[in-house]
Amino acid sequence: MIMNIQNHTHPTSDMIEKFKTLIGDEHVITDSKDMSQYLTEWRDLYQGKASCILLPGSTQDVSHILSYAHEMNIAIVPQGGNTGLVGGQIPFESGHEVIINLSRMNSIRNIDTAGNTMTVEAGAILQNIQDAADNAERLFPLSLAAEGSCQIGGNLATNAGGVGVLAYGNARNLVLGLEVVLADGQIWNGLRALTKDNTGYNLKDLFIGSEGTLGIITTAVLKLFPKPAEQSTAFLGAQSLQDVAHLFSLASQIAGHQLTAFELLPRVGIEMVTKHIQEARDPLETPQPWYVLLEISSGQATGNASELTEKILETALENNYIHDGALALTISQAKDFWRLREAMSEVQREEGGSIKHDISVPIARIPEFIKRANDAVETMIPGSRPVPFGHYGDGNIHYNVSQPTAMDKSAFLAQWDMMAEAVHSIVLDLEGSISAEHGIGRMKKDLLKDVKSPVELDLMQSIKKTFDPKGILNPGKLI
Ligand code: FAD
């Protein structure tokens, strides 16, 4: 038996045969060509190796795999849609780990329109869940640009955010119950569909956001919401971030909880999208340094959402908070506005290297954060092109920096840690978080000690040891 440095077993061919007997030959991938799609992520930032990929078809399968892996001390990497941005779903380079990919467990088991809940398996694709809710005249409000391929298990394991957080909260707020397979193969059935349940420690909330380090989520009971009867979407141009801050206060005051999205986009980002995506158009006639994608929703189709949006636009124009704006008159126009926002990440790939920071600060401090971070980045690498965009309404900015046009990509990316240190020190100074929604994974593991107190780190370590004493679940990630 070959052991790696963490004392986990490098699976032998007999062990891989055993996995085949547990879940079926055809659900164990060992061919290196077939494995490759599971071993790298879309930006090619992390590439790993694995002994094999396991594709369980049921909770019992997951339980049998973990029970055996626990006995044999085999390290496991849980994987969903492989869209995570911090490398948590990719194994290390040693090749001794085994990936459990949940894709086959993708059924939507039940929709309860009286209780407004939906029970889904972990491998269900987020977009399919949204569509199923929509077909039942309900809304599942978790929404992010990767929704066509990310899975609900991955969303919950990362406590995903996205564009609906302002109105509905992040993934944690959208779950009533969970079923989880523990490190030793035991199944915890916490599939309760209760809004109120004060019976001790909330285990569900511990698993959500644990990035596959405490257990494998296999099923979830999700909350559904009334489907908005009417939505009004506007694309607004502002001269400064201070004006965006005024606009946010104004929109919150006028629309209250009906303000369901308030997304920030910079001019440089719009230029990248219109350059690289053929059908994308700048909706405004005059270029503006900053844009806001604003959405107002209403439960009734009485024109209330459009009235509120028009009132926000009028008042914002009167006060010079915005200098130009467009209201979507059709669903297709609203989709075009959203396409500009959703393409913001992918187009940065076309512009060479991009150093990414997923941060949050108190909302009132966003303008100060962006100004200070831009200054720091420009001093460090003159000509860098910051593309700060994202969920202004919940304080979460994706502070991405594209390389200077004339610089070598790898030379730029080599500065990642140095730039992250500078940006994160501004974030901490402003009492923010170095990971607002993407998690810790591999990328930010070493930073945890700088942002958590020894007390908090000790508690986290104790929790990990209790749930996974042999450390077989996603070792080397998060903690
Ligand atoms: P994976 O990437 O496969 O895994 C992510 C983590 O969860 C890993 O640590 C993995 O081990 C663990 N995991 C996966 N499934 C399970 C399971 N069943 N049980 C236990 N652990 C599991 N994220 C946001 O929060 N907000 C955004 O707005 C957003 N936008 C994005 C836009 C783009 C274009 C892309 C590519 C990504 C974006 N992300 C965003 C990041 C990513 O989509 C989310 O983190 C998503 O929740 C990951 O889901 P996944 O199924 O792909 O999980």
Work out the end-to-end distance of the chain between its first and last CA atoms, rounded to an integer number of angstroms: 27
13 Cα: distance to centroid of ligand 1 (angstroms): 31
Confidence of residue 345 (pLDDT cuts 50, 70, 90): confident
Given a contact cutoff of 8 angstroms between Cβ atoms, the answer to whether 137 and 113 are in contact is yes
Q: Which alpha helices (DSSP H) does 256-395 contain, by range?
A: 267-276, 304-318, 331-342, 344-349, 366-380
Neighbours of 337 (CB within 10 A): 22
pTM of the entire structure? 0.92
Please say whether the beta carbons of 182 and 210 come within 8 A: no
Percent of the chain at pLDDT > 70 equals 99
Residue 285 above 70 pLDDT?
yes
Ligand 1: distance of its center to the CA of 243 in Å? 33
Expressed in angstroms and rounded, the spacing between residue 323 Cα and the centre of ligand 1 is: 37
From the list 434, 411, 439, 414, the residue with the least C-alpha distance to 424 is: 434
Is the predicted pLDDT of residue 5 greater than 50, yes or no?
no
Ligand 1 pocket: which of 58, 158, 166 to mutate (most atoms within 8 A of CB): 158
pLDDT tens figures, 325-335? 999 999 999 99
Atom of ligand 1 nearest to the CA of 151: 51
Q: For 245-261, what is each residue's pLDDT tens digit?
A: 999 999 999 999 999 99
How far CA 385 is from CA of 266, 399, 415, 443, in Å, comes to: 11, 11, 14, 22
- Per-residue pLDDT, 7: 85
pLDDT higher than 50, residue 21: yes
Residue 435 CA to ligand 1 centre (angstroms): 13
SS3 130: helix
**DSSP-derived 3-state class of residue 118:** strand
CB burial of 386-413 (b: ≥16 within 10 Å; e: otherwise) equals bbbbbbbbbbbbbbbbbbbeebeeeebb
**Ligand 1 site: residues with CB under 6 angstroms?**
42, 77-85, 88-89, 102, 122, 144-146, 150-151, 153-155, 157-158, 160-162, 211-212, 216-217, 345, 437-438, 441, 474, 477
Could you give the angle at which helices 416-429 and 366-380 cross, rounded to 10 degrees? 150
Per-residue pLDDT at 473 exceeds 50: yes
pLDDT tens-digit map of 384-430:
999 999 999 999 999 999 999 999 999 999 999 999 999 999 999 99
CA distance 183 to 471: 8
The residue among 439, 468, 445, 479 whose CA lies nearest residue 76 is 468
Q: Which of 37, 58, 59, 85 to mutate to test the pocket of ligand 1 (most atoms within 8 A of CB)?
A: 85
Mean pLDDT, residues 149-164 taken together: 96
Q: How far is the CA of 74 from the centre of ligand 1 (A)?
A: 23
Q: Is residue 87 classed exposed, middle or buried when 0-12, 13-18 and 19+ CB atoms within 10 A define those classes?
A: buried
Determine the atom of ligand 1 nearest the C-alpha atom of 147. 43
Query: Please, what's the b/e burial string for 100-128 (b: 16 or more CB within 10 A of its CB; e: otherwise)?
Result: bbbbebbebeebeeeebbbbbbbbbbbeb
Nearest CA to 292 out of 350, 246, 351 is that of 246
Q: How confident is the model over 41-56, as a mean pLDDT?
A: 93
- Predicted local confidence at residue 302, as pLDDT: 86
Residue 150 C-alpha to ligand 1 middle, in angstroms? 6
> How far, in Å, is the centroid of ligand 1 from the Cα of 371?
29
The H or E element containing residue 425 is helix 416-429
Q: Which atom of ligand 1 is the closest one to the Cα of 77?
A: 11
Average pLDDT of the chain to the nearest whole number: 95
- Cα–ligand 1 centroid distance for 154 (angstroms): 5
Categorise residue 304: left if φ over 0, alpha if ψ from -120 to 50, beta otherwise.
alpha
The predicted structure's pLDDT at residue 45: 86
